[in-house]
Amino acid sequence: MLIVGLGNPLMGDDGVGHAVVERLCRLLPQHHGVRAEYGDTDALRLPALWHGEEEVWLVDAVCSGALPGTIHRLDHEALLAAPQRHHHAHRLSLPESLRWIALGVTEMASVRYRFWGIEVHEVAPGEGLSPPVAAAAEYVASEIADRLA
Amino acid sequence: MSAAGRSIVIPHLGRVEGHGGIFVKVVGGRVHEVNMDIFEGSRYYEALLKGKHFLDVQGVITRVCAICSAGHTVAALAALENALGIGSSPRVFKMRGLLTLGATIESHALHVFALALPDFLGFDSVIAMAEKYPREVTFALKLKQLGNRIQELIGGRAVHPVNTLVGGFGKLPRHRDLEEIRAALAAAQGPLAGFVELAASIEVPDFAARPTVFVALRPHEEGYRFRGSTLCTSRGEEFPVAEYRDVVREFTVEHSHAKHAALASGETYMVGSLARLALWGDRLVGQAREAFQRLFPRGVEENVLTNTWAQLVELVHCLERGQQVCEELLGLPEEEREMQDYRVRAGRGVGAIEVPRGTLIHEYSFDDDGIIESANVITPTAQNLANTERDLRAAVERLLASDVGSESILKLKLEMVARAYDPCISCSVHVTCL
């Protein structure tokens, strides 16, 4: 099992993926057979973090218009079927990155993903999470740890 | 058309807090206003650095951007070491060069194959392209991963390097790792040559072409290189990088969150692969020279849409040059680490480097204790913004005059112009939109 927290801890609530990984590193015993890694801001670097795990769980900041701190949970099919919502001149969205990885890294084609997204309040330079996002990060970390217990 | 005019709005180039994109206002058949805005994060990072020790600079500044993290690292270290009055050993200089090549491979592979080529081939995305070009799409990701692997080996991490330090490197690569990288670079040459042929078969439109001033660093040695200490323009001017403030004028505009830049004369200019090829393309050798001649048979033209092909030429160069640098490093004895001693003192230093999108300039000043008093980062994207607007204006005028068709086609073509610059629209964040 590989757990990856995406985002930048120097950009406010964008650091929520890192915050969850940080908490998981404290919650999860070493012998669990689970690795929790910081994924930073490029999902296409996932293959560099992957060591043959069958499942990869991803945690990222989300922007959907819901209340800050809202937790979105997507299973494998829902995540990969998510439409390309970032028509972006410089980088691909998470779903599109995962679809490209499945095509380009044949060993990863059978990887099953699960996604936790936490609705952000403010993405701006600075360290630390806003209160609702910090609370959601605690909740998601506990939820993941419980699932793995 | 109404007397109030017509607006063409493309709101999706940016990604944070909804700002960013292209806005065009046409009144009475004439283009009245063309604005492009992006979220450009480096300004905020300059403020974050004030009051921190110069040893903390790298850990912060690399997070301006994921895909440009190695470039920011090398530029920052050059500036800090200039301020401290220390130079790089041959090994350290070569390793930073290899790091830069890895970053360029990663960035160009992503832009050429995943972001620009689908436009030229008529696909919505790289995923859609995979149906017709499965081998190419697979290879593109492997090429990007090779760039990541190089950065991981030299920088200690695939993103946001930690092994690159003021004065040297914490850990040096083993020879067997360098041999593996050299072999992987060589193995990528054949498939990439196939891409050059594919690109040569595509006609690049010229609806955005117009006279352009190109700017790039003069390579530090004979050859096509990404580091140097003087800025050159395609008009034949040359200036020391340390005097960049006299050459590059940054200014704010009402419609943009990012600063714009122009030469002291007021002219806008372009930095990036096309600018480098225009100034130094005659220095390319080997397969890169062949690719340059194949894709630019009439030499570099003032058409930003050919920037993607310039990046493709540079990809070929990076594969060849990377093997050379590995070879040079393999000629040095295997060591654990290499660090230069230095004394902390007050100073000011400027460092510049050619990164995938163009010339990146860092400047720092710090006090006797090494505490940062000021920081200034001029990114290639900020330098290109004003020029992008000029190109967009030229494109809109031509496309409207030639009755391009539906508004969606017009918007796609304008996006192609913006995308051709490979703008760095702050990948300092990763937010998934649902």
* Predicted confidence (pLDDT) per residue in B298-334, tens digit: 999 999 999 999 999 999 999 999 999 999 999 999 9
- Does residue B111 register a pLDDT over 70? yes
- Domain at A45, CATH number: 3.40.50.1450
CA distances from B280 to B68, B227, B336 (A): 22, 12, 36
- Taking the Cβ of residue B412 and every Cβ of chain A, the question of whether any pair is shorter than 8 Å is answered with no
Report the candidate in B13, B86, B88, B15 with the shortest Cα–Cα distance to residue B54: B86
- For residue B63, list chain A residues with Cβ-Cβ distance below 8 A: 8, 10-11
**pLDDT at site B29:** 76
- Going by pLDDT thresholds of 50, 70 and 90, the confidence category of residue B1 is very low
How close is the nearest chain B Cα to the Cα of A102, in Å?
A: 9
Amino acid at A14: D
Q: What percent of chain B has pLDDT over 90?
A: 63
Task: Return residues 63-92 of B near A (CB < 8 Å).
Answer: 63, 66-67
Helix axis angle for B175-200 and B134-155, nearest 10°, is: 150
Whose tokens are 């796609």? That residue is B412
Of A10, A40, A106, the CB nearest to B159: A40
- Going by pLDDT thresholds of 50, 70 and 90, the confidence category of residue A87 is very low
User: CB of B387 within 8 A of CB of B412?
Assistant: no
- Tokens representing A33 are 């057979």
CB contact under 8 A, A88 and B142: no
Contacts of residue B131, defined as CB under 8 A and 6 or more positions apart, other chains included, come to none
User: CB of A85 within 8 A of CB of A76?
Assistant: no
How close is the nearest chain B Cα to the Cα of A26, in Å?
A: 22
CB contact under 8 A, A41 and B159: yes
Report the candidate in B431, B432, B430, B433 with the shortest Cα–Cα distance to residue B65: B430
- Provide the 8-state DSSP code for B160: S
Of B12, B124, B430, the CB nearest to A41: B430
- Region of poorest pLDDT, from B216-230, B237-251, B253-267, B420-434: B420-434
Amino acid at B111: H
Contacts of residue B246, defined as CB under 8 A and 6 or more positions apart, other chains included, come to B239, B264
Contacts of residue A112, defined as CB under 8 A and 6 or more positions apart, other chains included, come to A54, A55, A56, A76
Contacts of residue B363, defined as CB under 8 A and 6 or more positions apart, other chains included, come to B79, B244, B348, B349, B350, B351, B374, B375, B376, B377
- Provide the 8-state DSSP code for B333: P
How close is the nearest chain B Cα to the Cα of A7, in Å?
A: 5
How close is the nearest chain B Cα to the Cα of A28, in Å?
A: 23
**pLDDT at site B14:** 31
Partners of A72 in beta bridges? A117
> How would you class A57 by CB atoms within 10 Å of its CB: exposed for 0-12, middle for 13-18, buried for 19 or more?
buried
* Total count of domains within chain A: 1
Phi then psi dihedrals of residue B25, to 5 deg: -120, 125
- For residue B12, list chain A residues with Cβ-Cβ distance below 8 A: 87-88
**pLDDT at site B433:** 58
Q: How far apart are CA B425 and CA B37, in angstroms?
A: 9
Q: How far apart are CA B330 and CA B333, in angstroms?
A: 7
**Paired sense of beta strands A55-63 and A2-6, if any:** parallel
Range with top average pLDDT, A25-34, A60-69, B231-240, B247-256 = B231-240
Select B42-420's CATH number: 1.10.645.10, 3.30.930.10, 2.130.10.10, 3.50.50.60: 1.10.645.10
Range with top average pLDDT, A78-82, B33-37, B214-218 = B214-218
Chain A residue with minimum CA distance to B110: A91
> How would you class B411 by CB atoms within 10 Å of its CB: exposed for 0-12, middle for 13-18, buried for 19 or more?
middle
Amino acid at B250: E
User: CB of B385 within 8 A of CB of B261?
Assistant: yes
Q: How far apart are CA B219 and CA B295, in angstroms?
A: 22
- Going by pLDDT thresholds of 50, 70 and 90, the confidence category of residue B344 is very high
Query: What average pLDDT does range A21-43 have in this prediction?
Result: 84
**What's the domain range around A122?**
2-148
CB contact under 8 A, B114 and A10: no
Whose tokens are 């692997």? That residue is B149
User: CB of B116 within 8 A of CB of B380?
Assistant: no
- Does residue B106 register a pLDDT over 90? yes
How close is the nearest chain B Cα to the Cα of A145, in Å?
A: 23
Query: What average pLDDT does range B175-183 have in this prediction?
Result: 98
Q: How far apart are CA B125 and CA A87, in angstroms?
A: 10
Query: What average pLDDT does range B130-146 have in this prediction?
Result: 91
Task: Return residues 15-54 of B near A (CB < 8 Å).
Answer: 15-17, 41, 44-45, 47-48
**pLDDT at site B409:** 86
